[in-house]
């Protein structure tokens, strides 16, 4: 592997005397004097014990012959021991391609990554976010900062996964070719970016060897020229520390976590971005397409014709995430598709090899046909759209490394010629069919799957522009004003499915979206599900009932979600799949269902319509109760709090009322409130403590994200909703802790 002829430097079976054994002598399997010793033991032998024996050989040698490194193997595991430090690396033989850099001393290179090789995790994402924050604080902001971070992510990954001919090239640039104070780091990165964007044949003859060693990347990732970033010593060290981690073990989850960690919290709330964990992604992708593909793969085992048909089918699939964020749904989907392809191809090649007498000519670039170009995304924010594009390149390379390992032929997809179709734009303003190029590609499609986790923004928290979009999409639907923002993605998905059902009858099409459970409850059901089921002619073919949101990102969303899968009614499977949970944080139990209602229970697609008048004459209407929306400033949560307030301001006693909400009713609690209906300005001016609370209510409402709540800041002494009349009530608690 290192181009060294053994006979030139080392000998086999070197005799050594002066040992503690009965004979006092032994033989070293291989010795390169002053550099390296190798010992092989029987399968299953304890390599720690064998190391002790090998080190006795080392001590018995003349000083100038003693090796610096000792390697031992039992033909299943390899143990590499550094004599001077006593440190050892042990790994399986199958891991040798990933660990080969530990033997760099054979060609006179010192191993740079001396720290333990920890997999990249959420903590690493937080460290990159910290670097982002330091650069931003220094004045390096906006598009340039975001693109710089994405490029550094690509370089960190490339160092540990064989993207370059030599591992650790980026680390070498940082450690050996930048000053410790970081002053020249920005300029050095700019030179590196320019090199990565220049084909080898067009590079200047005088380019330093440490830059010329990098390949041509292309793919537009390094094409744009960025303003130079000014790095501090701390920033440079943070980047060096990040380089010491094992980015080859990166999970798709890291990209979503990194994206959420660096986004501005205010922007994150406005966009409704909530990164989805891999566990939740697979809950959606399983019924959508993975379970079917795994069944097809299983049915093809041992059959060359069916295996080839399966491999021919995979490239005909298309996938769209119309709110892709940093691309987690696309990443996991692509990875799973590549694993299915790789497993089928390995089996097919084995069958072909047997029929051809063991000889199979293999061209990986020809036989591996699943491509990132089958994956489409739309993302409102530029930074996550950049992350998604690069993340899919990295996932592509990860799978090429696996293919190289399993198929025995190295395959690095550089320069980048294929890319996922990630569009930076507003999904509600984009023509999805046009983005998918359905008019041109329809004859070649086998199936189209829409998937994702659209923004979670309540109807009362939408901006005026978002409200305008909703009303335009649901034109003519008089009840659409109550819908949450996510409903727009359901509608556009349903309309796309209907379009495909009418124009491509051979094509399977389905959509599976994660969302809050609010769209399956109460007043949102009629306006949304009338559109999805009746007007767009779809049915629910799979669904997860309410479960607790889980992810690994900092500041994770505390919400309860559902997953709903739609398909055209005319081609939906007869058997539907319904997943229920004994508790929101528990594991799902699957049930077979003939039909699934919009309320995610088994049964017909009946929609409970809004009824303004009681069905029985003379019965009073059921109305929403008094609603404070006061930031807690009109409410007294305990008897002690109330007593203290009245002791300081006894004149407020006439305005104190007992308050009862769902939690009070169900838990037997007692609270009170300031009920200032009918209070005159003159009365209030005599109550400074009351007025202080009123002032705080005004501030809380003015700071609300909801334009409607902001308007109530004009009447801060009153609850926002006051249907109260002095009579006897029948009370119906609406919710408690998110559960009906």
Place of tokens 């501005």: 264
If one counts every other C-beta atom within 10 angstroms of the C-beta of residue 308, the result is 16
How many Cα atoms are found within 13 Å in the side-chain-facing hemisphere of 448? 31
pLDDT band of 118, cuts 50, 70, 90: very low
What span, in angstroms and rounded, lies between the C-alpha atoms of 151 and 186? 13
**Contact (Cβ atoms closer than 8 angstroms) between residue 297 and residue 340:** yes
Report in angstroms the alpha-carbon separations of 116 from 89, 120, 121, 245, 376. Answer: 10, 12, 14, 8, 37
Q: Is a pLDDT exceeding 60 seen at residue 482?
A: yes
Place of tokens 């299915």: 340
Give the start-end residues of each E strand in 549-601.
560-568, 576-581, 588-593
Kind and range of the H or E element at 152? helix 142-160
Edge-to-edge strand list for the sheet holding 671-674: 635-636, 671-674, 656-659
User: Is 183 exposed, middle or buried (CB count within 10 Å of its CB: 0-12, 13-18, 19+)?
Assistant: middle
**Contact (Cβ atoms closer than 8 angstroms) between residue 403 and residue 365:** no
Kind and range of the H or E element at 635? strand 635-636
What span, in angstroms and rounded, lies between the C-alpha atoms of 102 and 110? 9
416: which strand partners? Answer: 218
pLDDT > 70 fraction of the chain, expressed in percent and rounded = 89
What span, in angstroms and rounded, lies between the C-alpha atoms of 565 and 576? 10
What span, in angstroms and rounded, lies between the C-alpha atoms of 539 and 567? 6
**Contact (Cβ atoms closer than 8 angstroms) between residue 323 and residue 378:** yes
User: Helix, strand, or coil here: 14?
Assistant: strand
pLDDT band of 113, cuts 50, 70, 90: very low
What span, in angstroms and rounded, lies between the C-alpha atoms of 44 and 360? 33
Closest CA relative to residue 590, chosen from 603, 604, 571, 576: 576
Peptide bond into 415 cis (omega under 30): yes
Average pLDDT, the chain: 85
User: Is 65 exposed, middle or buried (CB count within 10 Å of its CB: 0-12, 13-18, 19+)?
Assistant: middle
What span, in angstroms and rounded, lies between the C-alpha atoms of 506 and 311? 19
The predicted structure's pLDDT at residue 550: 62
Q: What is the DSSP string of 683-729?
A: HHHT-HHHHHHHHHHHHHHHT-S-HHHHHGGGSTTS-SB----SS--
What 707-716 contacts at long range (C-beta under 8 Å, 24+ apart), as own/partner pairs, is 707/463, 707/464, 708/460, 709/460, 709/629, 712/629, 716/630
The predicted structure's pLDDT at residue 278: 78
- Report residue 502 as tokens: 């009418």
pLDDT > 90 fraction of the chain, expressed in percent and rounded = 47
How do residues 335-365 score in pLDDT, each as one tens digit? 999 999 999 999 998 888 755 555 555 566 6
Edge-to-edge strand list for the sheet holding 508-516: 421-424, 375-379, 317-321, 447-452, 508-516, 560-568, 538-548, 576-581, 588-593
Q: Is a pLDDT exceeding 90 seen at residue 234?
A: yes
Report in angstroms the alpha-carbon separations of 59 from 55, 72, 674. Answer: 6, 17, 87
What are the structural domain ranges in the chain?
Answer: 6-107, 122-250, 272-593, 624-740
Q: Is a pLDDT exceeding 90 seen at residue 232?
A: yes
Quick one: residue 223, left, alpha or beta (phi over 0 = left, psi -120 to 50 = alpha)? alpha
pTM of the model: 0.72
The predicted structure's pLDDT at residue 123: 60
The predicted structure's pLDDT at residue 653: 95
Axis crossing angle, helix 122-137 with helix 233-243, rounded to the nearest 10: 160
Fold designation for 272-593: Rossmann fold (3.40.50)
- Per-residue HEC secondary structure of 86-119 comes to CCEEEEEHHHHHHHHHHHHHHHCCCCCCCCCCCE
421: which strand partners? Answer: 376
Closest CA relative to residue 380, chosen from 415, 345, 421, 430: 430
pLDDT band of 168, cuts 50, 70, 90: confident
> Measured in Å, how far apart are the chain's first and last C-alpha atoms?
65
- Report residue 204 as tokens: 């200047």
The predicted structure's pLDDT at residue 116: 39
| Most confident stretch, 116-130, 164-178, 674-688, 721-735 | 674-688
Q: Is a pLDDT exceeding 60 seen at residue 366?
A: yes
What span, in angstroms and rounded, lies between the C-alpha atoms of 272 and 674? 34
What span, in angstroms and rounded, lies between the C-alpha atoms of 334 and 399? 9
The predicted structure's pLDDT at residue 129: 77
How do residues 249-287 score in pLDDT, each as one tens digit? 666 556 655 665 665 555 544 545 555 677 888 999 999
The predicted structure's pLDDT at residue 15: 86
User: What's phi and psi for 300, nearest 5 deg?
Assistant: -90, 0
- DSSP letter for 20, please: S
User: What's phi and psi for 536, nearest 5 deg?
Assistant: -100, 0
The predicted structure's pLDDT at residue 545: 95
Q: Is a pLDDT exceeding 60 seen at residue 187?
A: yes
| Most confident stretch, 310-314, 398-402, 410-414 | 310-314
**Contact (Cβ atoms closer than 8 angstroms) between residue 128 and residue 262:** yes
How do residues 26-65 score in pLDDT, each as one tens digit? 889 999 988 899 999 888 888 888 888 888 888 888 888 8
Residues 6+ apart with CB under 8 A from 646: 652, 653, 656
């Amino acid at each position: 592997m290192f181009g060294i002829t053994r006979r030139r430097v080392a000998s086999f079976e070197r005799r050594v005397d002066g040992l503690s054994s009965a004979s006092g002598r032994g033989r070293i399997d291989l010795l390169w004097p002053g550099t390296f010793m190798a010992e092989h033991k029987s399968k299953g032998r304890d390599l720690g014990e064998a190391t002790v024996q090998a080190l006795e050989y080392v001590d018995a040698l003349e000083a100038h012959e003693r090796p610096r490194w000792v390697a031992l193997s039992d033909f299943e595991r390899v143990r590499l021991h550094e004599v001077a430090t006593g440190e050892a690396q042990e790994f399986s033989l199958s891991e040798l391609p990933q660990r080969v850099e530990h033997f760099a001393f054979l060609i006179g290179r010192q191993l740079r990554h001396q720290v333990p090789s920890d997999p990249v995790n959420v903590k690493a994402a937080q460290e990159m976010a910290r670097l982002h924050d330091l650069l931003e604080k220094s004045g390096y902001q906006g598009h340039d900062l975001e693109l710089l971070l994405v490029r550094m992510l690509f370089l960190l990954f490339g160092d540990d996964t064989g993207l370059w001919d030599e591992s650790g090239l980026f680390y070498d640039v940082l450690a050996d070719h930048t000053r410790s104070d970081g002053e020249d780091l920005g300029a050095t990165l700019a030179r590196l970016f320019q090199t990565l964007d220049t084909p080898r044949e067009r590079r200047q003859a005088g380019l330093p060897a440490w830059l010329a060693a990098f390949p041509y990347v292309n793919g537009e990732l390094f094409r744009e020229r960025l303003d130079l970033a000014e790095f501090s010593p701390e920033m440079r060290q943070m980047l060096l520390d990040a380089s010491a981690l094992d980015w080859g073990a990166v999970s798709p989850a890291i990209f979503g976590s990194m994206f959420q960690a660096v986004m501005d919290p205010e922007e994150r709330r406005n966009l409704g971005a909530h990164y989805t964990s891999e566990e939740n992604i697979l809950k959606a992708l399983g019924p959508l397409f993975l379970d079917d593909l795994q069944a097809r793969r299983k049915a093809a085992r041992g059959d060359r014709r069916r295996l080839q048909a399966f491999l021919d089918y995979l490239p005909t699939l298309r996938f769209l995430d119309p709110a892709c964020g940093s691309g987690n749904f696309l990443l996991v989907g692509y990875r799973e598709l590549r694993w299915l392809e790789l497993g089928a191809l390995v089996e097919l090649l084995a069958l072909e090899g047997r029929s051809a007498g063991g000889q199979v000519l293999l061209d990986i670039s020809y036989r591996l046909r699943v491509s990132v170009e089958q994956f489409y995304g739309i993302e409102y924010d530029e930074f996550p759209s950049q992350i998604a594009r690069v993340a899919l390149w990295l996932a592509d390379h990860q799978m090429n490394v696996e293919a190289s390992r399993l198929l025995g032929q190295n395959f690095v997809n550089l320069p980048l010629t294929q890319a996922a179709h990630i569009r930076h734009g507003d999904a509600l303003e984009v023509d999805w069919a046009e983005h998918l190029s359905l008019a041109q590609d329809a004859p070649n499609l086998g199936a189209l799957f829409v998937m994702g986790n659209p923004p979670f923004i309540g109807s009362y928290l939408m901006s005026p522009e978002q409200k305008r979009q909703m009303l335009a999409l649901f034109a003519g639907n008089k009840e659409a004003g109550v819908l949450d923002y996510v409903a727009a993605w359901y509608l556009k998905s349903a309309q796309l499915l209907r379009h495909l059902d009418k124009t491509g009858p051979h094509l399977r099409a389905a959509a599976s979206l994660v969302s809050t459970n609010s769209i399956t409850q109460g007043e949102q059901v009629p306006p949304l599900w009338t559109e999805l089921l009746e007007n767009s002619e779809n049915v629910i073919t799979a669904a997860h009932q309410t479960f607790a949101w889980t992810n690994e990102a900092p500041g994770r969303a505390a919400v309860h979600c559902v997953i709903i899968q739609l398909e055209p009614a005319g081609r939906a499977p007869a058997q539907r799949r319904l997943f229920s949970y004994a508790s929101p944080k528990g594991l799902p139990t699957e049930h077979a269902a003939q039909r699934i209602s919009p309320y995610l229970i088994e049964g017909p697609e009946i929609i409970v319509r809004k009824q303004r008048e009681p069905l029985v004459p003379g019965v009073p209407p059921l109305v929403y109760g008094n609603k404070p929306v006061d930031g807690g400033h009109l409410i007294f949560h305990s008897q002690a709090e109330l007593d203290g307030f009245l002791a300081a301001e006894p004149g407020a006693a006439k305005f104190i009322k007992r308050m009862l909400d769902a939690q009070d009713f169900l838990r037997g609690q007692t609270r009170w409130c300031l009920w200032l209906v009918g209070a005159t300005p003159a009365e209030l001016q005599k109550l400074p403590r009351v007025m202080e609370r009123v002032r705080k209510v005004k501030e809380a409402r003015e700071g609300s994200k909801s334009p409607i709540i902001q308007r109530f800041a004009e009447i801060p002494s009153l609850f926002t909703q006051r249907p109260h009349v002095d009579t006897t009530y029948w009370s119906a608690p609406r919710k408690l802790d998110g559960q009906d």
